Structure 1
Amino acid sequence: MYVGRFAPTPSGPLHFGSLVTAVGSYCDARSKKGKWLIRLDDLDQERVVKGAHSNILDTLDSYALFWDDEPIYQSKQKHIYTHWRKKLIKELDIYPCVCSRQTIRKHSTLNGDEWIYSGYCKTHSSKDKPIRSYRIKLPTPCSVSIDDLALGLITDDLCKSSGDFVLFKPDGTPSYHLASILDDHYSGITHVVRGEDLLLSSLKQAKLQKIIGLTNSKFLHLPIVRNKEGKKLSKQNKADPIKIALASSTLFNALTFLSQSPPSELRTQNPSDIMNWAVENWKVSSIRYEGTNVKAEAAIHSTHIQDD
């Protein structure tokens, strides 16, 4: 059975980019008669904004993105992470890393927005410095492949594109990659739908799933929503929150961004009718990955016009 999920971080309200991911994830699950779960990635409490949990859930409900089962909170899964930390420390080649961000930049090369870790701490003593993280020594060969439902087969060599990546923080808190695959495993997630900007994360997670013996997820990466400066729409770039009062037009714009060609009369329908149409007519093959920043700007601008 198909089991999908949407896993926002409650660091603020949803914006248009996060809505596109939610809509794509929801449609892909429901069109295959699958379940759709909600997980709040609230493990990093420093990023959590008070009230964001309920705001996100209320927004999804108002947009007719109805989930199955109870929402899952990472902060309530710590017993799972503790069990796996003890297990993996015994079974994997994990080493302490004392590298600051400055040290990583000094000894590494940049791959897009991410630094390729050089393995500095595998060959340098760390006795006199505070431990900043624990990294996994990637077993060779470092190659990994995922068969994306839209983009096809994607293969990478993580030794060249990433290097050894972090598994735990000094206090034992799991990294995003480890927590994500453990949460997906215990929730029975079969399909992960996310933005194309997380492609390297997906490759890391697929490799990690294989290393520790978990079933590989299937992936679908959606086009990145960008602002008019060409930057990814995000909370860090001060993306505007989506508004409950504009649910219908914003859903219409999200479907347009995903190249689903909703009929114009759908724009004024209620959110439930829009999402029913979206599920019935969902086509992964229609998604386009070129010129999406132009479409995004038009979609966002259209939403703002209706708000005036």
Structure 2
Amino acid sequence: MRRLLDAGPRSVGEGSVRGRFAPSPTGPLHFGSLVTALASFLEARRYGGEWLLRIEDVDVPRGTPGAADAILRALERHGLHWDGPVWYQSQRRDGHEAALERLSRAGLAYPCTCSRRELAAHSTHARDGSPIYPGHCRDGIRQPDRPAAIRLRVADTPLAFQDALRGPFKQDLEREVGDFVIRRADGLFAYQLAVVVDDAAQGITQIVRGGDLLDSTPRQIYLQTLLGLPTPTYAHLPVAVDRHGHKLGKQTGAAPLDLDRPGLALMAALRFLGQDPPLELSGEPPATILAWARAHWRLERVPAIPARRWPPNARVDPCRVD
């Protein structure tokens, strides 16, 4: 019988709490990203912890010039002030290289020249529609004239963890994901490796983020185990979607936050997160709203669902609170 790799829950009281918000600079902050920032901020502050900011700009081609600075301005305008210096993932390449070298020396990483088109055509697919890697290059690359990505070998071991919001979650990496990319063929490090290395380097103990990353979490815990890194606690929030069920984001035309109305956006985000702020706070500045939120925040009130349509009425402003 295969052993279950269980990343058991860490007690919130163990040591100091350190949360983070780690947006990608692909555009200005929108309502969905404010929800994540606010929830991660409040959960860290609930336990007297620090809240760090990291710009995940490792995927250079997807970045938008000026977006990182715009994100910082929007957070400050909404009263979400971080602790310490801002980290930029693109400046962390040495740490990513060291982790890759360690995995390679252990025989856990190998080159792969399979194209996305080939995998899409010849692989079974996971729940999210992505191809499950069938292991074509495990015993040697098939197209030596192509640039090679680097994949991580996964073991035939189911992995389970306790999500602080969604409850127990289990995934069989070999059957449901397959060997996954940790460095792309263009030389850029993949999100899964970079996020694990950087969370450990920043001493992150608590991760609150969107539910679209729930399926990625077992891969990250697996990497943490192989690299001997600590596993934070995880809580995955419902994703804000539009009336068509599409995640709010740059690709779906989500409007940037209105920096002239930060209080309304915070009120709407609190409602989305199930916190029920009193309507009389609607005209108050961010500092007053956040003071109420810090005093009343409870993660357990957040709907434990994959996604939530916002605004509930498609004809209203997503930041409207009445």
The answer to whether the superposition gives a TM-score over 0.5 is yes
Structure 1 residues 126 and 292: alpha-carbon distance in aligned structure 2, compared to 1, 3 A threshold: closer
Match of 1:173? 188
Per the TM alignment, residue 81 of structure 1 is displaced from its structure 2 partner at its CA by 1.6
* Preserved CA contact (<8 Å) 2:267 2:319: no
- The gaps in structure 1 that reach 5 residues or longer are none
Deviations 1:164-189 (A, max 9, x none): 10111245432101000100001000
1:108 and 2:123 aligned? yes
Alignment partner of 1:133 is 2:149 = yes
Task: Indicate if the aligned counterparts of 1:92 and 1:136 stay in contact, CA closer than 8 A.
Answer: no
Following TM superposition, by how much is the alpha carbon of 1:123 offset from its aligned partner in structure 2, in angstroms? 5.0
Cα distance change, pair 24–137 in 1 and its aligned pair in 2 (3 A): same
In the alignment, structure 2 segments of 5+ residues that lack a partner are 1-15
Residue 192 of structure 1: aligned partner:
207
Is 1:207 aligned to 2:222, yes or no? yes
Cα deviation 1:121-150 (Å, max 9, x = unaligned): 225642534133110111232x11121111
2:125·2:131 contact (CA, 8 Å) conserved in 1? yes
Deviation at 1:5, TM superposition (A): 0.4
- Relative to the length of structure 1, the TM-score reads 0.93
Question: Whole-Å Cα distance in 1 between the matches of residues 239 and 315 of structure 2?
Answer: 13
What amino acid does structure 2 have at the position aligned with 1:91? A
- The Cα offsets for residues 202-235 of structure 1, whole Å up to 9 and x where unpaired, read as 1210111112211111100000100011111111
Structure 2 match to 1:96:
111
Normalised by the size of structure 2, how large is the TM-score?
Answer: 0.89
**Cα drift, residue 294 of structure 1:** 3.6
Distance 1:135 1:88 in 2: 10
Q: Matches of 1:60 and 1:273 in 2, distance apart? A: 16
Q: For residue 99 of structure 1, give the secondary structure of its aligned residue in structure 2.
A: coil
**SS at 2:242's partner residue?**
coil
- Distance across 2 between alignment mates of 1:289 and 1:2: 22
The 1:266–1:162 alpha-carbon spacing in structure 2 relative to 1, beyond 3 Å, is same
Please, what is the CA RMSD of the aligned residues?
1.9
Do 1:177 and 1:204's aligned partners in 2 also have CA atoms closer than 8 Å? yes
Query: Matches of 2:314 and 2:298 in 1, distance apart?
Result: 20
For these two proteins, the number of residue pairs brought into alignment is: 305
| Amino acid across the alignment from 1:176 | Y
Q: How many Å separate the matches in 1 of 2:170 and 2:110?
A: 26
- Residues 146 and 49 of structure 1: is their aligned pair in 2 closer, same or farther, counting only changes over 3 Å? same
Q: Deviations over 1:42-86 (max 9, x none)?
A: 111111111111100000000000100010011111121222222
Q: Given the superposition, is the C-alpha separation of residues 68 and 299 from structure 1 closer, same or farther in structure 2, using an over 3 Å criterion?
A: farther
Which of 63, 71, 74 does residue 59 from structure 1 map onto? 74
Judging changes above 3 Å, is the alpha-carbon distance between structure 1 residues 166 and 292 closer, same or farther for their aligned structure 2 residues? closer
User: After alignment, is 31-40 or 132-141 more displaced?
Assistant: 132-141
What amino acid is aligned across from residue 269 of structure 1 in structure 2?
Answer: E
Check if 1:122 corresponds to 2:138.
yes
Structure 1 residues 186 and 124: CA distance shift in structure 2, 3 A: closer
Alignment check: 8 A CA contact 1:23 1:254 kept: yes
CA distance in 1, matches of 2:44, 2:114: 41
1:50 pairs, out of 58, 65, 82, with: 65
Aligned to 1:232: 247
Whichever structure has more helix as a proportion of its residues is: 1
Preserved contact between residue 113 and residue 143 of structure 2 (Cα < 8 Å) = no
